[in-house]
A and B are shown apart, each in its own frame.
Chain A
Amino acid sequence: MTDPTADRRAELIAAAASSDLSPGEAAELDALRLADTSIDVEIAELRAAIRALDGLHWDDSAPGAGLRDRVVAIDTAPVVPLAPRRRWIIGLGAAACILAGVGLGLGAGALAPSGAGPQPGAPGALGALEHVEFEGQSSDVSIDGSLVAHTWGTETILEIDGLAAGDSYSVVLIGPGGESFDSGSFLGSSVTIDCRMNAAVERPDVDSVEIRDASGTVVAAAELPAVES
């Protein structure tokens, strides 16, 4: 059962928020205001919402028919269902790091499961975890690295101990022609660093991963196997 009084109140407030009231409606709203002081607050709130829409335009078109096929095919991707190897953290952004022992505080509890994540798979397999071996780092530096191939780029996952606390480091993916794809940067720390970074290059176009210090010197690098087509 609808409430005609409430509907009329809503109608007048919406019209007032966009200055669409007729003189008669304006008088009617003024009369309502005398008994309902929340009306002016609501009009102000709706106008704030309208201001938030400034500059937007809306495209209501549907996705292409092929997208459904791509999504439905996800469960047939060549991913080996082994036990997850590491904690998986979603929602930290393109070059996001956390320090071990520091709470996540992401707010989206359903998105930060402990024990679920990408499963190991072949290099280049969409969504699969590909372990990579870093070399060249000093003996007091430990780097545990993996890649995940995505449709829109390559994700690098790093767990690092021993890099100089406070110093800046960058992660760069290197293409077959030596071209560089920036994946983000982080600061060394005295505790374990857990990083996820993304670069706008597809995994088949990546030959190696480098961690560089602020001067650009490579402190560790991992050569990657070619992706079988």
Chain B
Amino acid sequence: MRTSGSVIELARPTDSPRPGFDLATEYDAHSRVLFAFALNALRDRGAAEDCVQETFLRAWRSRASFDPDRAAARTWLFAILRNVVIDVQRSRQRMPRIVAEDAAPEPAAPSTEPLDRLQVVEALAKLSDEHREAVVAIHLNGESYAEVAERSGVPVATLRTRVYYALRALRGHIDFEEERHD
């Protein structure tokens, strides 16, 4: 009944960049979760794609100094992307834009505590698909466990344990980031 797989998708065979940091390999391994983080932090597909591209650009030009013994590739890429996203958010705050109403992107995530919110979005992006899907269904979309079980075919007990471990991982990520910033 226990949830299968890792809660946080970090350890993969491709996680340590090989000499030369092959862009195609690293993109295929990490782009989806990186994009999810940027997209849900910025709520703008174009900006999110630009951020992911910028992240790989920074990683590529710093590849010689990256130490895979100090951080996994995904951790390293997330750290770069986090800074890129923060740059974009701050740039947006300084640069009011005038656009047609129907062309405006969705409002940015609530900005009362933008760094806290960014940590939560990053933590969600780092969850495995099955853990994130359970949390999103139950706690973001407001579905009941019974409704999700009916829709997905996953037993309620399994969904609950997935949510348990996902929320613990979220809590752990937020606590870690808070300690890192202290």
Binding site for B on A (CB under 8 A): 2-4, 6-7, 10-15, 17-18, 20, 45-46, 48-50, 52-53, 55-64, 67-68, 70-72, 74-75, 79, 88, 90-91, 93-95, 107-111, 113-119, 126-127, 150-153, 181-182, 198-200
Query: Is B49's CB under 8 angstroms from A46's CB?
Result: no
Binding site for A on B (CB under 8 A): 1-2, 23-24, 27-28, 31-32, 35-36, 39-40, 43, 45, 47-54, 56-58, 60-67, 70-71, 75-76, 79-80, 82-83, 86-88, 90-92, 94-95, 109-110, 116-117, 120-121, 124, 132, 135-136, 138-141, 144-145, 157, 160-161, 163-165, 167-168, 170-171, 174, 180-181
- Collect the chain A residues with CB atoms within 8 Å of residue B58's CB: 90, 127
Partner of A151, one of B36, B50, B67, B94: B50
Partner of A53, one of B35, B91, B120: B120
Q: How many residue pairs between the two chains, A and B, have CB atoms under 8 Å in the bound complex?
A: 204
Query: Is A198's CB under 8 angstroms from B87's CB?
Result: yes
Q: How far is the CB of B155 from chain A (nearest CB, A)?
A: 10
- Collect the chain B residues with CB atoms within 8 Å of residue A107's CB: 180-181
Q: How far is the CB of B96 from chain A (nearest CB, A)?
A: 11
18 inter-chain pairs at a CB distance below 8 angstroms, sorted by A residue, are A4-B1, A7-B161, A11-B164, A20-B160, A50-B167, A52-B116, A53-B139, A58-B124, A59-B36, A62-B35, A63-B45, A71-B31, A74-B53, A88-B62, A90-B58, A95-B90, A109-B67, A116-B64
Query: Is A198's CB under 8 angstroms from B2's CB?
Result: no
- Collect the chain A residues with CB atoms within 8 Å of residue B63's CB: 116
- Collect the chain A residues with CB atoms within 8 Å of residue B36's CB: 59-60
Known: A67-B35, A109-B70. 18 other contacts (CB 8 A): A10-B161, A17-B167, A49-B167, A56-B120, A59-B39, A60-B36, A63-B31, A63-B32, A67-B31, A71-B23, A71-B56, A91-B82, A94-B94, A95-B90, A111-B79, A113-B65, A127-B61, A151-B53
